[in-house]
Amino acid sequence: MSKRYVSIWFRHLLADWQAIRRPELKDVPYVFAAPDHGRMIITAVSPLAEQSGIETGMRAADAKAICPGLEVIDDKPDRAKKLLRGIGEWCIRYSPTVAVDDFSNDGLFMEVSGCPHLWGGEREYLKEIVSRLKSKGYTVRLGMADTVGAAWAIARFGRVTPLIHAGEHAEALLPLPPEALRLEQGTLAKLQKLGFYQIKSFIGMPRSVLRRRFGEGFLLRLGQALGTENEIIEPIQVATAFQERLPCLEPIKTRRGIEIAIKRLLKKLCLRLQQEGKGLRSGVLTGYRIDGKIVRIEIGTNSASHSVSHLYKLFELKIEQIRPALGIELFVLDAPKTDDVDAAQEAIWSDKLGMNDKSLIQMLDRVAGKVGPNVIRRYVPDTHYWPERSFKKSLTITELPVSGWRNNKPRPTELLSRPDPIEVMAIIPDHPPKFFVYKNTRHNIVKADGPERIEREWWLDAGEHRDYYQVEDEQGRRYWLFRSGHYSDAGRYQWFLHGFFA
Amino acid sequence: MDSKKALIDKLQKDILLWQGYKAQPAGKADTIGLGQIESAFPNGVFPKRAIHEFITFVPEQSAASDGFIAGLLSQLMKEGAACVWVSTSRKLFPSSLSAFNVPTERIIFMDVAKEKDVLWIMEEALKCEGLAAVVAEINDLSLTESRRLQLAVENSGVTGFILRKDAGKKASSIVTARWKITPLPSENEDNLPGIGFPRWRVELLKVRNGSPGWWTLEWEADHFKEVVTEKVSTRIFGQEQRQIG
């Protein structure tokens, strides 16, 4: 199947944009100007200003002399490009592949193979785009042809019809001027000098002659327009492998409607995922509103899933975040991240308890969706003696500990994240203290075990070692105390309470 | 005399049956390892389909409660199921649980910022049949919330533990059992120096259709062991006496 391209040319992109923002400019001629070598050079012209003979590239001062009521607006670099990107995103409703025209920065390209029949044919398709953009306030000219180059040429220089049927683009190019080929200024001047005013006057010449006179770039552009050279356009949004679209006849604005849309999209997507043995890891639902805004919600799962009911529950938690305003006319469901699902394993483990349990994974997904994925933690032992480092966060939900948990040394069930300094009274050095004062309460120590010296890991951080004692007071309350540093270093040691034993 | 006792026992069982408490099938009635304490529960079986509340006032008590819960978890998680531990300010030291025979890597910790989220997660987790137990550290629990949790538990059969770190506020909840665990001085055999096995005074303040009471319990390496002392006859409930020896 041959490819079809549409080129959209915004005749007054910046001027139209400004007129939409400031309707009071309707009857005033205005231009955009940017500083260049100390002068203000006009970069964009409004239709009214164009009528009085102002062109881009003129000096703003000259233009003001020609047209006294002229308003000059400061232009910013890249403003046109950003604007085109925004409009391009809106145009994704017409075709998934939309690209910004990098050559002239005043238009868009769309690859529309297989799209127009949804709007009832190519002519209706073009009409729809023009009228929709016009209702927003942009005057555009379209061109539709088999190649990007031909579409570009027809949109800007075509005089007969914007719609060039399949296979007729070479013929349609013949009467057009050489500017239609997207050539550089130098080449154009040469062609002008030689008297080539139309493409048909040089298209029949041998390639070697054209290459010698005009260079390789000229032949590339000619080939791109005729379809002998391949041209790749860079889409604004790369379409994901797993994507489902749901255009709506009537704009959807109720919660119930959105729920039905999500269910339908999920059903289609999950069927495809299941057939390919894949499961969704992250999903994005995009809603295109009729006022041109885009609303988006995202979900993620802990393990690949293609279960409609489970994924729907995850989306259900986020439906409230969608603001439909006047209504949503197109829903797109993407699965940017997918993983393989082992179907055999799923069957064997389905009724076995453990970390692979399906209901557990689904519950975790819901928690991650509502509260956030970073609240869920699992710990595996780490090979450190330092208490705060004796465990580490597990990366996945099924990671198994490499080393075993040590339980040969007593450890408190509750550990303070910051050890609390305490006052102690110890009679004999390196013996457990006689009593200690913690939060204004005096605890007389009756029984004690220790010391257990834990050295600081000098390759990780600097500081004193700790001598830990497990102590029990006369009421039976058990504590984990430590002395930081050696006893002998007068004044340099400090006692801390670090935890509570069961 | 005997026939009278038998009659009363039968009547009590009938009442339980009418209230919806079915006797456990013979083979399934596995014990939780609490020994004598289990007889305080209806039908003499630790209720797994239930919410247990632990009230604590000081960190020493919550550390003891952590240990007691860990001892119960070691039995509940024996089959390989996971456990969820939800909290807003968790102090539990993961490396200590292995002393209570708990496979710590199968505990999923969720540390959230708001108590509201703790409740939501607890309810979601209690509905999840693939779990063995859910532990939640909550301070405030209203009647409605506790009822919701109870409903979730009855459907799934997951055991729920609520650890109230600040029990100063009296909450009216419909939990099945309310516990209070207080550390007691440990004892070593033959008066050896040092600290022995962790010993607690386990108080069952409230138990639905059962009889409250208190016991002295020890965690001995891998199981609970009831400590019978001479003063055991002076079972005065609620008395904050010092229990040494």
Domain limits, chain A: 1-238, 243-369, 414-500
Cβ-defined contact of A360 to B131 (cutoff 8 Å)? yes
Chain B, window 58-77: residues with a beta carbon less than 8 angstroms from a chain A beta carbon: 59-60, 62-64, 66-68, 70
Q: Tell me how far CA of residue B144 lies from CA of B119, B140, B151, B165, in angstroms.
A: 12, 12, 11, 20
pLDDT at A353: 57
Q: What is the percent of chain B with per-residue pLDDT over 70, rounded to a whole number?
A: 85
CATH fold of the domain at A1-238: Alpha-Beta Plaits (3.30.70)
pLDDT at B221: 82
pLDDT at A342: 64
- pLDDT, one tens digit per residue, over A317-339 is 888 888 888 889 889 999 888 88
Nearest to A5 by CA among A169, A135, A128: A169
pLDDT at B21: 64
- Residue A230 pLDDT greater than 80, yes or no: yes
Q: Is B168 on the interface with A (CB under 8 A)?
A: no
CB pairs under 8 A between A and B: 174
pLDDT at B209: 83
Query: Domain coordinates of chain B in residue numbers?
Result: 2-21+33-229
Cα(A281)–Cα(B68) distance, rounded to whole angstroms? 38
Q: What is the 3-state secondary structure (H, E, C) of A108-122?
A: EEEECCCCHHHHCCH
Cβ-defined contact of B105 to A400 (cutoff 8 Å)? yes
The CATH-assigned architecture of domain A243-369 is 2-Layer Sandwich (3.30)
pLDDT at B233: 41
pLDDT at B170: 63
Burial of A82 (0-12, 13-18, 19+ CB in 10 A): exposed
Q: What is the percent of chain B with per-residue pLDDT over 90, rounded to a whole number?
A: 30
Cβ-defined contact of A391 to B129 (cutoff 8 Å)? no
Lowest mean pLDDT among A62-76, A136-150, A396-410: A396-410
Cβ-defined contact of A377 to B108 (cutoff 8 Å)? yes
Q: Tell me how far CA of residue A271 lies from CA of A245, A267, A268, A337, in angstroms.
A: 14, 6, 5, 16
Q: Backbone phi, then psi, for A43, in 5-degree steps?
A: -110, -25
Chain B, window 95-124: residues with a beta carbon less than 8 angstroms from a chain A beta carbon: 95-100, 104-112, 117, 120-121, 124
For residue B32, what are the β-bridge partners?
Answer: none
Give the closest of B96, B129, B184 to A411, CB-based: B96
Within 10 angstroms of residue A271's Cβ, the number of other Cβ atoms is 13
Cβ-defined contact of B95 to A358 (cutoff 8 Å)? no
Strand locations in A270-314, DSSP E?
278-289, 294-305
Give the closest of B93, B106, B199 to A499, CB-based: B93
Give the closest of A352, A366, A412 to B63, CB-based: A412
- pLDDT, one tens digit per residue, over B95-135 is 899 899 898 888 999 999 998 999 999 999 999 888 899 99
Mean pLDDT value across chain B: 83
Q: Tell me how far CA of residue B61 lies from CA of A322, A382, B55, in angstroms.
A: 47, 28, 8
Interface predicted TM-score (ipTM): 0.83
Give the closest of B63, B79, B110 to A367, CB-based: B110
Chain B, window 27-56: residues with a beta carbon less than 8 angstroms from a chain A beta carbon: none
Lowest mean pLDDT among A74-78, B62-66, B235-239: B235-239
Cβ-defined contact of B104 to A405 (cutoff 8 Å)? yes
- Residue A391 pLDDT greater than 60, yes or no: yes
- pLDDT, one tens digit per residue, over A255-273 is 999 999 999 999 999 999 8
- Residue A278 pLDDT greater than 60, yes or no: yes
Better-scored residue on pLDDT, B239 or A264: A264
pLDDT at A22: 87
Instruction: Give the three-state DSSP class for B17.
Output: helix
Per CB-CB distance under 8 Å, the chain B contacts of A468 are: none
pLDDT at B24: 56
Mean pLDDT across A481-495: 81
State the pLDDT confidence band at A232, using cuts at 50, 70 and 90: confident
Q: What is the percent of chain A with per-residue pLDDT over 90, rounded to a whole number?
A: 23
Mean pLDDT across B58-82: 90
Strand locations in A187-277, DSSP E?
243-252
Better-scored residue on pLDDT, B235 or A228: A228
Cβ-defined contact of A358 to B130 (cutoff 8 Å)? yes
- Residue B242 pLDDT greater than 50, yes or no: no
Top residue of B48, B58, B77, B96 to mutate, by most chain A CBs within 10 Å, is B96
- Residue B20 pLDDT greater than 70, yes or no: no
Mean pLDDT across A124-145: 91
State the pLDDT confidence band at B159, using cuts at 50, 70 and 90: very high
- Residue A296 pLDDT greater than 80, yes or no: yes
Give the closest of A353, A367, A447 to B194, CB-based: A447
The matching CATH number, chosen from 3.30.70.141, 3.40.50.1820, 3.40.50.300, 3.30.572.10, for B2-21+33-229 is 3.40.50.300
pLDDT at B119: 92
Mean pLDDT across A284-290: 90
Cβ-defined contact of B185 to A475 (cutoff 8 Å)? yes
Mean pLDDT across B65-91: 90
Mean pLDDT across A30-57: 87
- Residue A51 pLDDT greater than 70, yes or no: yes
Cβ-defined contact of A448 to B60 (cutoff 8 Å)? no
Burial of A295 (0-12, 13-18, 19+ CB in 10 A): middle
Count the alpha carbons within 13 Å of B241 in the hemisphere toward its beta carbon.
13
Cβ-defined contact of A367 to B96 (cutoff 8 Å)? no
> Dmax of chain B from CA atoms?
59
- Residue A489 pLDDT greater than 70, yes or no: no
pLDDT at A348: 42
